[in-house]
Amino acid sequence: MKRGDIASKILFLCASFSTLIVFLIIIFLLREGISALNWNFLMGMVWSPHKNLYGIFPTLLGTLVVVAGAIIIATAIGVPCAVFLAEFSPFWLRNMIKSTVEVLVGVPSVVIGFFGLIVIIPFIRNNLGGRGESILAGWIVLAIMSLPHIISLSEDAIRAVPTSYRQASLALGATKWQTVRRAVLPSASSGMRAAIVLGVGRAVGETMAVLMVVGNPETPWIPTGVLDRVRVLTSTIAIEFSYAEWGSPHQYALFAIGVVLFFIVVALNLVATFVIRRRNWNG
Amino acid sequence: MNQKITTYLIIGLFIGVVSGFFISGPMMYNKQIATLSNRISELEGQESIALSGVLSIAGSTTILKISQECANNFMQVHSKVQISVSGGGSGHGVKAAGSGEVNIGEASRNIKASEWLSYPDLVAFVIGKDSVAVVVNPGNPLVGSLDLTLEEISQIFSGEVSNWSEFGGDDHEIEVYTREEGSGTRDVFEMYALKPFDAEFAGTASVKPSNGEMRASVAGNRYGVAYISLGYVDSTVIAAKVEGVEATVEKVKSGDYPITRVLWMFTKGFPSTLEKAFIEYVLSDEGQVIVEDLGFISIK
The residues spanned by each domain of chain B are 1-40, 54-129+265-293, 132-253
Q: How far is residue B249's CA from residue A104's CA, in Å, rounded to a whole number? A: 44
B54-129+265-293 matches B132-253 in fold: yes
- If one counts every other C-beta atom within 10 angstroms of the C-beta of residue B206, the result is 23
Q: How far apart are the first and last CA of chain A?
A: 36
CA distance B204 to chain A (A): 5
Q: Please determine, for residue A273, whether its predicted confidence score (pLDDT) is greater than 90.
A: no
Q: How far is residue B291's CA from residue B299's CA, in Å, rounded to a whole number? A: 9
- Give the pairing type, strands B261-268 and B104-107: antiparallel
| CB atoms B181 and A212 under 8 Å | no
| Mutation site, A52, A117, A207, A218, interface B, largest B CB count within 10 A | A218
Share of chain A above pLDDT 70, in %: 97
Which residues lie below 8 Å from residue A221, measured CB to CB, with a gap of 6+? A45, A58, B203
Q: What are φ and ψ of residue A136, in 5° steps?
A: -60, -45
Q: What are φ and ψ of residue B141, in 5° steps?
A: -60, -20
Residues B62/B111, Cβ–Cβ less than 8 Å: no
Per DSSP, the three-state class of A47 is strand
- If one counts every other C-beta atom within 10 angstroms of the C-beta of residue B110, the result is 16
Share of chain B above pLDDT 70, in %: 84
Per DSSP, the three-state class of B113 is helix
Give the nearest partner residue to A217 out of B95, B99, B203, using CB atoms.
Answer: B203
DSSP symbols for B217-267: HHHT-TTEEEEEEGGG--TTSEEPEETTB---HHHHHTT-SS--EEEEEEE
Residues of B in contact with A133 (CB under 8 A): 206
Q: How far is residue B224's CA from residue B49's CA, in Å, rounded to a whole number? A: 50
**Residues B66-79 pLDDT 10s:** 999 999 999 999 98
| Mutation site, B61, B180, B223, interface A, largest A CB count within 10 A | B180
Per DSSP, the three-state class of A92 is helix
**Residues B161-180 pLDDT 10s:** 999 999 888 899 999 999 98
- Confidence bin at B295 (pLDDT 50/70/90): confident
| CB atoms A221 and B203 under 8 Å | yes
Q: Please determine, for residue A168, whether its predicted confidence score (pLDDT) is greater than 90.
A: yes
Burial class (CB in 10 A: 0-12, 13-18, 19+), A265: middle
- If one counts every other C-beta atom within 10 angstroms of the C-beta of residue A7, the result is 10
User: What's the mean pLDDT in A105-120?
Assistant: 89
Residue in A closest to B114 by C-alpha: A245
Residue in A closest to B220 by C-alpha: A122
Residues of B in contact with A45 (CB under 8 A): none
Give the nearest partner residue to B203 out of A219, A240, A243, using CB atoms.
Answer: A219
Which pLDDT score is estimated for A245? Answer: 73
Give the nearest partner residue to A243 out of B182, B201, B213, using CB atoms.
Answer: B182
| CB atoms B220 and A240 under 8 Å | no
- Confidence bin at B16 (pLDDT 50/70/90): low
Q: How far is residue B105's CA from residue A199's CA, in Å, rounded to a whole number? A: 39
Share of chain B above pLDDT 90, in %: 56
Taken in order of first residue, the domains within chain A and their CATH numbers are 37-278 (1.10.3720.10)
Which pLDDT score is estimated for A4? Answer: 80
Per DSSP, the three-state class of B289 is helix
Chain B CB within 8 Å of residue A239 CB: yes
Q: Please determine, for residue B235, whether its predicted confidence score (pLDDT) is greater than 90.
A: yes
CATH T-level topology, domain B132-253: D-Maltodextrin-Binding Protein; domain 2 (3.40.190)
Written out in words, the top-level CATH class of the domain with range B54-129+265-293 is alpha beta
Give the nearest partner residue to A121 out of B181, B183, B220, using CB atoms.
Answer: B220
Q: pTM for this one?
A: 0.76
Residues of A in contact with B95 (CB under 8 A): 242-243, 245-246
Residues 115-134 of A with CB under 8 A from B: 117-118, 121-122, 125, 131-133
Q: How far is residue A13's CA from residue A36's CA, in Å, rounded to a whole number? A: 35
- Confidence bin at A267 (pLDDT 50/70/90): confident
- Confidence bin at B30 (pLDDT 50/70/90): very low
Nearest to A183 by CA among A170, A196, A201: A170
Q: Please determine, for residue B45, whether its predicted confidence score (pLDDT) is greater than 70.
A: no
CA distance A72 to chain B (A): 26
Nearest to A139 by CA among A229, A230, A66: A66
Per DSSP, the three-state class of B176 is strand
Q: Please determine, for residue B50, whether its predicted confidence score (pLDDT) is greater than 80.
A: no
Which residues lie below 8 Å from residue A59, measured CB to CB, with a gap of 6+? A47, A220, A230, A231, A232, A233, A236, A257
Chain B CB within 8 Å of residue A214 CB: no
**Residues B101-157 pLDDT 10s:** 999 999 999 998 888 998 999 999 999 999 999 999 999 988 878 899 999 999 999
More confident residue, B14 or A209: A209
User: What's the mean pLDDT in B18-38?
Assistant: 47
Chain A CB within 8 Å of residue B206 CB: yes
More confident residue, A269 or A61: A61
